Structure 1
Amino acid sequence: MKLNQTSPGRAPGVAALLVATLLLAFGAAQAAEPDVASPDTAGTAAVTNLVEVVGRRAGGAYHAGEAAGTKTEMSLRELPQAVRVMSRQSLDDLGATRLDDALDYVGGVSRQNNFGGMWDNIAIRGLAGDSNNGMALLQNGFAGNRGYNGPRDTANIERIEFLKGPAAALYGASEPGGTLNIVTKSPQWRAAHALEAYLGSDDLYRSTLDATGPLAQNVAYRVNVALEKRGSMRDYVDTRRTLLAPALTWKLDDGTRVDYRGEVQRHRGAMDRGVAAVAGRLGVMPRSRFLGEPGDGDLTVENSTHQLMVDHPLNAEWRLRAGLAWKEGSILGYATEAAATVQQDGRTLRRQRRFRDYTSHDGAGQLELAGQFATGTVRHDLLLGVSGYRFRSDQLMLRVQPTNAAPYAIDILAPVYGQPLPAVLPSTDTIERQRDRALYLQDALHLGARWRLLLGMRFDSYDQVLHNLRTGSRTDQSPDSRSPRAGLSYLATPRWTLYANTGRSFRPNTGTTAAGAALTPEQGRAVEAGTKWESADGRAGATLAFYDIRKRDVVTGDPANPGYSILAGAVRSRGFDGDFTGQLDRHWRANGSLSFIDARVTRDNTLAVGAGLVNVPRLNGSLLLMYEGAASLGTYGAGGGVTYSARRPGDARTQAQAAAGVPVFELPAYTTARLSGWWRASPALRVSLDVDNVFDRTFYTSSYQSTWVAPGARRSVVLGLQTTF
């Protein structure tokens, strides 16, 4: 058996191991809990650790009791929704420097096409985001996925909130499977500084600065800086990244708080579409082989974000919140990309060369009134808000098709680089404008000691105009949307909650079909039911959720025109996901996840009905365990993690392929392991060591088509030095 493959017969064994470990961890935590707290007070037992630490942490929390993205005073145990918070401690224990370093450790998350390494992209509960913008993503409650964004650096991230299920009732355009809300680091009122340096395999060099403190009695700052140069196992592929993230907080005498959050990032690297399969088989070519052209140079992705937020108390019960955000992004450069299939000889792969000049501009604003009041014995947490945004995307693409440049091919078994670069010709020249106005209302009702009811509704008025400057055509659409949701929780015991919810979603689609037509907005509906558990001390918790999601007017890649999209009709996703996070005792902490996803096409004119959705495994799971202790030479920590992903479809299966009996192209299952350790020699000095893919397995993380398959990184070792002052 090859190292990069896991036979179907062994998958249940891996799943059983993960389940058994989670149950053991859960049992240990439950056995340690005292029998305290009533249902009325249990919701406040677990609270997020709001005291931020500058630099890498020791002994921080995995489990969180609240999430800013829910926009309610309810604790997560009371909330009728599955929410998983990836804390800063979790990111540190995973050695995560990029967002996708942490995604495998959350239930229901699966990797998607990452645009040749130029952005982050996942599916939650089997449903992916916009194929032109990536996953559904919020940053401090503002849309963070419109436009063009390089892979996110974690240097200025405090925590990541996975809001599973529909979030459209609060945020509008989003996925019914779930949304990420990234919470960035806040200024602190005590001066603190941290410098970190890392040296690793494949020529990794990284340094970061985290500095915070007061500028005046009522003004505090924070600045995060990251500089990184990273090679890879891939021939001719390396990246360079810079991040500057300033933040300011100003507290006025009347209790008003003004916050600014900024972020400027530049990411440069070769677009790398990965390796190719031959007749549906992977492993024919080495995982290091680059199928682009080194002479193209780098693609540059630049993005900047500026957010201004004001929180003003009207009295003890009511407050006004207002926010403005401005976001810009761009992609610029040449790239050579493989055609859809390897030729009959099993080694010749035709390629196309593209030049991209993409820019995006996004302005958004929101105004909210939030407060608490009572009607008889029922307490209300009310939120009333209005929001809007204006978005513009300019796409200029020049390219040469493989049919027009047959000599511009590559032998995947014996590549020769440095061929004459063909001139690119006009292909795409569009301007897309979006505008949205919305009104939303949410009421969280406390119905006595044990019942919680969450109701929400959002009304969106949306306009989209697409100008095709090459043809002179113009496409307009102005759909309106209503996005309701309702959820009910029952606090059965001081530790256990039962809940259910339902909601609808709405998401406009960017980009066009190969014919230049605009894409109809997607509509979704989801139903979820589950249970939650939380320890008495609020340091551990678990969630198990079952769901059924239906979505129509779904966009997927066009099999006949790579790089363009088509409407896939309707899809369905159903299954379950579970997460456990927290302390097992005073030395051990754990982070575990397990999910089963059955995601399929249910209606379409092009894709095969019943076909699985691309890159979505039926089963995946993870476990991270860390131990901390003390010795005569200082404190230390050690642990490791394991992730498992079952086999999954590697491309969109068409009806023609199904009728012809063409075998399904699948990515093989894989299991990876990592080790992590650190030693704090003094209060100000810490040394860390992270080893990823310990057994150097060959595996494949995602695919767009059989010639665009992303291989996972080989074994890497990273040594870090962190100091605070």
Structure 2
Amino acid sequence: MPFPMSRRLALSGIAALGTCLCLPAAAQDGVQQQASQAEADASLPAVEVVGRRQSGSYHADEASGTKTDLPLRELPQAVRIMSRQTLDDLGATRIDDALDYVGGISRQNNFGGLWDNVAIRGIAGDINSGMPLLLNGFSGNRGFNAPRDTANVERIEFLKGPAASLYGTSEPGGTINVVTKKPLWKAAHSVELYAGTDDFYRTSIDTTGPLGERVAYRLNAAVENRGSFREHVDAQRAIIAPALTWKLSPATRLDYSGEVLRHETPLDRGIVAVGNRLGDVPRSRFLGEPADGDVRVDNQTHQLALEHMFNARWSSRIGLSYKEGSLKGYSTEAQPALASDGRSLPRQRRYRDYASDDVTLQAELIGRLQAGAVAHELLAGMETYRLDFDQRMLRANPTDTSPYAIDVFNPVYGQPRPVPLPNTDTSEDQKNLAFYLQDAMSLGEQWRLLAGVRFDRYDQSLLNNRSGARSQQSPTATSPRLGISYLANAQWTLFANAGKSFRPNNGSSASAAPFDPESGRAAEVGAKWENAAGTLGATLALYDIRKKNVLTADPVNTGFSMAAGEVRSRGMDFDLSGQLSRHWRVNASLAYIDAEVERDNLLETGGRLLNIPRLNGSLLAMYEDALANGTRYGIGGGFTHSASRLGEARTQAQANAGRPAFELPSYTVARLAAYWRLSPTLRLSLDVENLFDKTYYASSFQRTWVSPGNPRTVVLGLQAKF
């Protein structure tokens, strides 16, 4: 399988490296001591750092995405860290497998299985590119991105609340930062083999170690063939993720992280509801055309980061990221409603040829100062990026003479496929320049104050290649944030924060016009608790969020988006994670979300937001011990619960006419996890999802695009370390 390398990437990387090497290399004794300590920390036993962990923590005390050294207990923000141990216990091979176990996360339309998508605290991301996502602090969701694999993921940071003062284009509900695995200075290697129901097969490797005194490497790779309970739907993917660390001097380090991924699967819009009823059509039924074949998503990401410590107080970081994505293939997709006979489903046929290129440069200066009784941790940064976003779609709509329909109760595949004609052909160009400041202040023993602001200027240009029309806009934004924490005692913290957000909307309306940028504001108050040992922690937060110019499904023009005016979300989320005792670790969440449309020219005022349950929660617990022969074992499980959700946007006219809302029913799904460590280097694992084979529906875009959840699946694994 070819993995092309971009010439532009190579030139950009050389330029960035030359810039980085110009930084001063002198360091004081304190810096050398820190570097020696870093080497010592990196030399942990290999059994704990590659492959599936035998025993690790669910609880973390810091997050790189906050860009401050403040421990999470002192930070005036709700943050949930999903550790590698949690991912292992969930048997998560994609981050989508783990998202239900964090408070306030709600599943959204996943574009027929071609990307990850959730809402955080009731607020969804860009309808054209998915959820708000960072990769090692760089934007990870601009453009087109396949479902993210966990082969090279070390942890996932859920930064709840507004983060625009640091990252600009983010959501007021929160941002997800995926942190990848880094090279280690002690050799360690693992190979993992998995086989499961519905013809699931996966092989992965994780290898790391030094290449010399100053250079260390890491390589993660995986190949997966995934069958499905869905007829005519399977998926293939391959990922290779190299990483290098180069110690240019005791005070200067250059890190490279790369990732190349190919994902192939049919675009699967799911099943249909008959009237407002789900269940009449089996959850396994595919309503597209098997002959359309796969849609292929290719992603390539390369990141360089150079960190230099001038002395014990001042340091700098320069980062460069290049990311490209493409999505190509045919699909047959249902129209919004069944025909009058209640069984014939009109369909469209589409061909997509999408491409995106995203280049980002960051530069930051960090200082730690003492001014009287106040300690300051200062951050000053600059970011600029350019995004090229091209969409070309061919489409064939059903007509009276060529209905291109399928009987949902007795499907017959292989009918003549209509030839799609040009429909959308746009080239979008986004440029951004931003400056940001942050000051994390320690005001004595009990008070922490976090203040930040970011200034953004965007230039957005959209060319309609069919008509030649070009539209442009150059919005600016100021995104402030202010938070305060009170450390009541060694275990309890009270906090509050507020901030604004801003995000340009990708894509175009049915008339090929660009959308106005989104703007939002959010506030939260809450409490944090951590046990004396620092191994178990909890966060409870109350929030209120408002957002304007939100994109949602256009109920008049199928497949297009529209701005929904103003929405709001308020509620509560709770997270608990860590070690209950020597044998037990636990991860629990609970959330209440009240999210609705506040003002709109088309959608129902006061109507609920799509796919947002009022209540959801989860529990994961694992017990570990040793057998009489000295081998170790672990057994545990958990469940996720979601209340009913709105499954299709409803217009004000439909509400006035008394048309009942289409809803997805509530569900509770259980899972089982177990392992047996046969020797220090060999381990067997068992993961069972949907233990009681519950029929449920995970998300919906409209009543003819409903995504059913997986039935019971069983996966056996063998992990070897050497």
Instruction: Please report how far the alpha carbon of residue 88 of structure 1 lies from its aligned counterpart in structure 2 after TM superposition.
Output: 0.1
* Aligned partners of 1:405 and 1:422 also within 8 Å: no
For 2:59, the equivalent position in structure 1 comes to: 63
For 1:367, the equivalent position in structure 2 comes to: 363
Distance 1:303 1:399 in 2: 25
Distance 2:367 2:253 in 1: 17
Q: Are positions 1:313 and 2:309 aligned together?
A: yes
Instruction: Please report how far the alpha carbon of residue 537 of structure 1 lies from its aligned counterpart in structure 2 after TM superposition.
Output: 1.2
For 1:4, the equivalent position in structure 2 comes to: none
Q: Are positions 1:673 and 2:665 aligned together?
A: no
For 1:119, the equivalent position in structure 2 comes to: 115
SS in 2 for 1:295: helix
Q: Are positions 1:533 and 2:529 aligned together?
A: yes
Distance 1:231 1:683 in 2: 32
Q: 2:147 aligns with which of 140, 148, 151?
A: 151
Higher relative CO (Cα under 8 Å, sequence separation at least 6) belongs to: 1
For 2:27, the equivalent position in structure 1 comes to: none
Matches within 5 A, 1:14-29: none
Q: Deviations over 1:56-111 (max 9, x none)?
A: 00110100000000000100000000000000000000000011100000000000
Q: Deviations over 1:10-49 (max 9, x none)?
A: xxxxxxxxxxxxxxxxxxxxxxxxxxxxxxxxxxxxxx99
Distance 2:645 2:710 in 1: 19
Q: Are positions 1:389 and 2:385 aligned together?
A: yes
For 2:33, the equivalent position in structure 1 comes to: none
Q: 2:656 aligns with which of 631, 655, 659?
A: 659
Q: 1:630 aligns with which of 626, 640, 643?
A: 626
Q: Deviations over 1:652-702 (max 9, x none)?
A: 111111011100000000000000000000001000001110110000000
* Aligned partners of 1:49 and 1:64 also within 8 Å: no
Q: Deviations over 1:480-529 (max 9, x none)?
A: 00000000000001100000000000010001110111100000000100
Distance 2:113 2:558 in 1: 17
Distance 2:577 2:169 in 1: 29
Q: Are positions 1:202 and 2:198 aligned together?
A: yes
Distance 1:405 1:91 in 2: 52
Q: State the TM-score, normalizing by the size of structure 1.
A: 0.93
SS in 2 for 1:637: strand
Q: State the TM-score, normalizing by the size of structure 2.
A: 0.93
Distance 1:138 1:411 in 2: 42
Q: Are positions 1:430 and 2:426 aligned together?
A: yes
For 1:560, the equivalent position in structure 2 comes to: 556
For 1:294, the equivalent position in structure 2 comes to: 290
Q: Give the direction of change, closer, same or farther, for the CA distance of 1:280–1:124 in structure 2 (3 Å limit).
A: same
* Aligned partners of 1:49 and 1:61 also within 8 Å: no
For 2:328, the equivalent position in structure 1 comes to: 332
Distance 2:341 2:96 in 1: 36
Q: Gaps spanning 5+ residues in structure 1: where?
A: 1-47
SS in 2 for 1:248: strand
Q: Deviations over 1:202-240 (max 9, x none)?
A: 000000000000001110000000000000000000000
Q: Deviations over 1:388-417 (max 9, x none)?
A: 100001111001012376431000000000
For 1:649, the equivalent position in structure 2 comes to: 646
Matches within 5 A, 1:464-543: 464-543=460-539
Q: Deviations over 1:287-332 (max 9, x none)?
A: 0000000010000000000000000011110001000000000000
The letter of the residue matching 2:353 is D
Distance 1:560 1:722 in 2: 51
* Aligned partners of 2:636 and 2:672 also within 8 Å: yes
The letter of the residue matching 1:660 is A
Q: Gaps spanning 5+ residues in structure 2: where?
A: 1-40
Sequence identity, in percent?
A: 63
For 1:41, the equivalent position in structure 2 comes to: none
Distance 2:93 2:269 in 1: 22
Q: 1:455 aligns with which of 451, 463, 476?
A: 451
Distance 1:520 1:252 in 2: 45
Distance 1:156 1:403 in 2: 48
* Aligned partners of 1:105 and 1:621 also within 8 Å: yes
Distance 1:232 1:653 in 2: 32
* Aligned partners of 1:497 and 1:533 also within 8 Å: yes
For 2:573, the equivalent position in structure 1 comes to: 577
The number of aligned residues is 678
For 2:88, the equivalent position in structure 1 comes to: 92
Distance 2:570 2:51 in 1: 40
For 1:692, the equivalent position in structure 2 comes to: 689
Please give the root-mean-square deviation of Cα atoms over the aligned residues, in Å. 1.0
Distance 1:396 1:695 in 2: 43
For 1:7, the equivalent position in structure 2 comes to: none
For 1:43, the equivalent position in structure 2 comes to: none
Q: 2:182 aligns with which of 172, 183, 186?
A: 186
SS in 2 for 1:642: strand
